[in-house]
Amino acid sequence: MNKPSNVVEMTPETNLGDNSTAAYDIEKIRADFPILSREVYGKPLVYLDNGASAQKPRQVIDAISEVFEQYYSNVHRGVHWTSQQSTTAFEGGRSKVAKFLNAPSENEIIFTRGATESINLVAHSWGRTFLKAGDEVIISHMEHHANIVPWQMLRQELGIDLKVVPIDDDGNFMFDEYENLLSPKTKLVAVTHVSNALGSVVPVKDVIEKAHAQGALVLLDGCQAVPHAAVDVQDLDVDFYVFSGHKLYGPTGIGVLWGREDLLNSMTPYQTGGEMISSVTFEKTTFKKAPHRFEAGTPAIAEAIGLGVAIDYVQAIGLDNIAAHEHGVLQYATERLLTIEGLKIIGTAKEKAAIISFDLDGVHPHDLGTFVDRAGVAVRVGHHCAQPVMDRFGVAATARASFGLYNTRGEVDALVDALEETRKFFG
Amino acid sequence: MFDELRDLYQEVILDHGKNPRNFRRPEDATCLAHGNNPVCGDTLVIYLTLDSDERIQDAAFQGQGCAISVASASMMTDILKGKTATEAKRLFEGFHNMCTRDDFDISQLSDCDEDAIDRLVMLSGVKEFPIRVKCATLAWHTMQAAVSGDEETSTE
Ligand SMILES: Cc1ncc(COP(=O)(O)O)c(C=O)c1O
């Protein structure tokens, strides 16, 4: 059985700080998430589908209610009190995102509907302005469809080439192959920071350094990275960074595109309309600078404010503390899952975030999902919007447990028990 | 732990899931269709051999999927042999309603083959698991597509 080398031997009793310690008060954290105390099918809900979307703490839920109950209005448009309040809170959300990513300027934070829209925005506004036939965009074999299809569309439209960095049998990004693909034709490297299907962490700093040495820009898909570790866009020296709010304990319908200010202001608008223009006459329209250039129309106001509160929430716990906690849960889960006969973990990269894809011999993932669901355990089954990854490992689908800041080793045990029972049922 | 699941995952269904019948590609098939369920990655190919009276002489399938979708394809191919395309369509409609409608009345199918009805009733246990209805009906949708000459179909 393939066991990742970095997993330390431990017994279920080994304490990795899972239960209440001064540094990480898991019970207090769990109490912040109302949904975690509910039951499904008469069993406690064990929510292990954080990679798809994370649950929301009371603080975020309350903040959103407060917007609508206390001061809601459209932003940037009214001289009245509610509009001023809403605008201040909305722009406060932007400022929190900027600090969260250590962005040099708040103007570099563009609110979108989510990572999908952020990537489409770059493909549209940067790609159509700066790419031409024969230019190359490099992606990796473990991209989410959201970071594949927009580039394929540009290939069709502009005649650019798309190059794919392979992954090895453990799901590691193959750096040597990446270096071989880089050339003066490379204009953009668009890769995931952490794979949603495998959990692999991509060595993004080295990726960026090599890309820049060739004069190429780098876009990182940070959807699965920001909930698990602190990200500093200046330290990374990256050019574009995208993520979705809902995977970071924030609301749906809000996401972020961060881009270097000079780059953003050199790009054409994405959508056009209200809010994004300096002046309009029937002869000529001039556009505002970033971020407003890319935020046509009324934005997701309460959602942006909610995202800011979600960021406050994770920062109050501390991304480093979250990373340490999740790493403990990941190690424990890896160890425990491998005790199940016929269970194979898909994705055993050297460095992983708290995501485990697996296959259980003799049980199709879809049946597995239905069974563990009855035990109250929510896992994702399917191709995780990463079909090339499934093809690479020769499977149509996997089951995936993805952990968040509130998951415990007791919940891992619930998953393992449910899987043992499922295996027996199909046995 | 899984008592409620026994209604759906009965021995017969598990057996068809593990040892599917008619799992082959007939040389003389007159029509076929590919079916896929993009949500879970299930893919099936249904092969039918129709004679000049539109009677199904042979039905078979290949592909991969969960226990429910494989069992459904396995049972369906058994059931269809000897039936006309019109009868097949009626069974499909009956089965679909069985899986999705509260007001389904089994007497609508009283003139159909009793053994076929029993099997379909067993599979219609997916009604309690709405997300799995597509698993049970994929083979039937694909069969219908094969009869009408659409080579690709999807449950989405
Ligand atoms: C790595 C990765 N990229 C992109 C996305 C797309 O995010 P959204 O659906 O929120 O736009 C996801 C979400 O599943 C993801 O995991």
Identify the CATH number of the domain in which residue A94 sits.
3.40.640.10
Helix (H, G, I), strand (E, B) or coil at B46: strand
Whether A385 is catalytic: yes
Instruction: For residue B45, give the DSSP letter.
Output: E
Determine, yes or no, domain membership for A9.
Answer: no
Contact B1 A390 (CB under 8 A): no
The domain in which residue A261 lies consists of 61-315
Q: Is residue B130 classed exposed, middle or buried when 0-12, 13-18 and 19+ CB atoms within 10 A define those classes?
A: exposed
Mutate to test the interface with B, among A40, A149, A366, A395 (most CBs of B within 10 A): A366
Check whether A70 has a pLDDT greater than 60. Answer: yes
Which tens digit of pLDDT belongs to each residue from A19-46? 444 579 999 999 999 999 999 999 999 9
Q: How far is CA A221 from CA A231, A354, B145, in A?
A: 12, 17, 39
Per-chain mean pLDDT for chain A: 93
The pLDDT, as a whole number, for residue B155 is 64
Q: B144 CA to chain A: closest CA distance, Å? A: 24
Query: Cα B145 from chain centroid?
Result: 12
Residues A242, A330 within the same domain: no
Tell me the pLDDT band of A337, cut-offs 50, 70 and 90: very high
Considering only A220-234, A316-330, A379-393, which range has the smallest mean pLDDT? A379-393
Size of interface A-B (CB pairs under 8 A): 53
What is the DSSP track for A61-97?
Answer: HHHHHHIIIII---SSS-SSHHHHHHHHHHHHHHHHH
Query: Cα A157 from chain centroid?
Result: 28
Instruction: For residue A167, give the DSSP letter.
Output: B
Contact of A350 with chain B, judged by CB distance below 8 Å, is answered with no
Query: Cα B136 from chain centroid?
Result: 6
Considering only A18-22, A323-327, B21-25, which range has the smallest mean pLDDT? A18-22
Contact B40 A367 (CB under 8 A): no
Please name the amino acid found at residue B90: R
Distance between Cα A36 and ligand 1 center (Å): 23
Contact of A390 with chain B, judged by CB distance below 8 Å, is answered with yes
Residue A218 beta carbon below 6 angstroms from any ligand 1 atom:
no
User: Which of A41, A366, A375 lies nearest to residue B66, judging by beta carbons?
Assistant: A366
Contact A366 B129 (CB under 8 A): no
Which tens digit of pLDDT belongs to each residue from A358-398? 999 999 999 999 999 999 999 999 888 898 999 999 988 89
Full-model pTM: 0.91
Determine, yes or no, domain membership for A226.
Answer: yes
> Which CATH number does the domain housing residue A351 bear?
3.90.1150.10
Taking residues A139-158, report their average pLDDT: 97
Residues A398, A335 within the same domain: yes
Q: Is residue A156 classed exposed, middle or buried when 0-12, 13-18 and 19+ CB atoms within 10 A define those classes?
A: exposed
Residues A189, A309 within the same domain: yes
Residues A154, A51 within the same domain: no
Residues A322, A311 within the same domain: no
Determine, yes or no, domain membership for A2.
Answer: no
Q: B2-154 adopts what CATH topology?
A: Sufe protein. Chain: A (3.90.1010)
Percent of chain B with pLDDT over 90: 69
Determine, yes or no, domain membership for A4.
Answer: no
Determine, yes or no, domain membership for A109.
Answer: yes
Check whether A18 has a pLDDT greater than 60. Answer: no
Residues A115, A215 within the same domain: yes
Residues A284, A328 within the same domain: no
Residues A277, A367 within the same domain: no
Tally of structural domains, chain A: 2
Partners of B47 in the beta sheet?
Answer: B32, B60
Residue where a domain stops, chosen among A267, A291, A315: A315
Q: B53 CA to chain A: closest CA distance, Å? A: 38
Residue tagged 């898991």 (tokens): A26
Residue where a domain stops, chosen among A297, A315, A333: A315
Instruction: Sketch the domain layout of chain B as residue ranges.
Output: 2-154
Tell me the pLDDT band of B114, cut-offs 50, 70 and 90: confident
Which tens digit of pLDDT belongs to each residue from A119-134? 999 999 999 999 999 9
Distance between Cα A249 and ligand 1 center (Å): 14
What is the DSSP track for A279-342?
Answer: EE-SS-EEEPPTTGGG--SS--HHHHHHHHHHHHHHHHH-HHHHHHHHHHHHHHHHHHHTTSTT
Check whether A190 has a pLDDT greater than 80. Answer: yes
Q: B82 CA to chain A: closest CA distance, Å? A: 31
Residues A293, A331 within the same domain: no
Residue where a domain stops, chosen among A290, A315, A340: A315
Mutate to test the interface with A, among B2, B70, B133 (most CBs of A within 10 A): B2
Distance between Cα A135 and ligand 1 center (Å): 26
Name every chain B residue with its beta carbon within 8 A of the beta carbon of A390: 41
Q: Which residues touch A65 (CB under 8 Å, ≥6 apart)? A: none
Residues A258, A292 within the same domain: yes
